[in-house]
Structure 1
């Protein structure tokens, strides 16, 4: 729906703005991946919005290509960012090498192997999305248990889970009720970025 897609553009723009500020003030590496992912998401929503009003076949084909690869790249950066947060939550002596936080980016390469198979593509995207949400919920559940300041981020992750379940597991949600998961997605984005913004710097680098 044009209205909810436009709402996602506004929300994504706000999230990018906030994450850029966090990247500059609270640790470049911790928020860099999320900032890149949010920027890609903003661009994708822009293409998605324009495609609702343009019926040109060439533009549609180009937009579909950008949306597909942008989506998988966005997921890769989110997973990489979560790996950075996990690494920096540990004591220095227990941290794994920073190089390992870039391993999730390899899923972009793995996608080449299935890019021509519709069923496998959807299956992989579903797994990557579910994996990112699961890791986020598990990680911030532990953090929230230790420090209540993480609660807002955990709530945002749970909202993402509901959006994910609606999109993938509720028959008929597309396209008539697409606005449901889109609104939840927007709410999750806002909740998480506000959670990061209001979480103390020392808590974001919490020790084990």
Structure 2
């Protein structure tokens, strides 16, 4: 449905704008990965909308290619950003080397090894998404336990979890007529998490 993809474009564009502001302020490196991920996601949504408007097989092929790789790259940068968040949450003496936070980007290269296998590609996306959600839920669960100012971020992660479970658990929701359900949850998770960051960093 075109309307939900336009909505996701607006949400991701807004998220990219706000995250750029975060990246310019304190925790610049911490929000850089999320900023890049949001920009790539917004670009992906532009191509999705183009695919809706231009119904040609050649365009559909290009759009599918862009969606697949944009999804992968934005996910890699999200995982890298989470690694930075984890590193900076530790005392200085316990922090792992900064270079390690770039390791999640290696999944982009590893993807070439499974590119011809649809099953393996789906499993990789499932594992990467699930891993990001597990790490973020654990991290912000602890943060929220210590300070209630992170509660909105945790609520956003809960929406991402619901989206994840519906998308992978109910294949029927992936078809066009029902895709708006998980996409709406995805957009809601993005907005809620972003508002959570603004609220938490307003202190």
The 2-side partners of 1:200 and 1:5 are apart by 29
**Residues 1:150 and 2:150 aligned together:** yes
Find the aligned partners of 1:3 and 1:61 in 2 and give their Cα distance: 22
Distance 2:52 2:106 in 1: 32
Q: Which residue of 2 aligns with 1:178?
A: 179
Runs of 4+ off more than 6 Å? none
Superposed CA RMSD: 1.1
> How far 1:70 sits from its partner (Å)?
1.0
Gaps of 5+ in 2: none
Q: Is the 8 A contact 1:26 1:201 kept in 2?
A: no
Task: Return the structure number with greater helix share.
Answer: 2
CA distance in 2, matches of 1:178, 1:58: 23
Paired residue for 1:195? Answer: 196
1:180 Cα deviation after fit: 0.7
Q: How many residues matched?
A: 202
Whole-angstrom distance in 2 between the partners of 1:92 and 1:45: 39
After the TM superposition, which residues 35-114 of structure 1 pair with which residues of structure 2 at under 5 Å, given as runs? 35-114=35-114
Once residues 150 and 105 of structure 2 are traced to their aligned partners in structure 1, the CA distance between those partners, rounded to angstroms, is 26
User: Higher RCO, 1 or 2 (CA under 8 Å, sep at least 6)?
Assistant: 1
CA offset at residue 53 of structure 1?
Answer: 1.8
Q: In structure 2, how many angstroms separate the alpha carbons of the residues matched to 1:89 and 1:192?
A: 18
Q: Distance in 2 between matches of 1:192 and 1:54?
A: 33
**In 2, Cα distance between equivalents of 1:46 and 1:166:** 24
Deviation at 1:171, TM superposition (A): 3.2
* Runs of 5+ consecutive residues of structure 1 not aligned to the other structure: 203-208
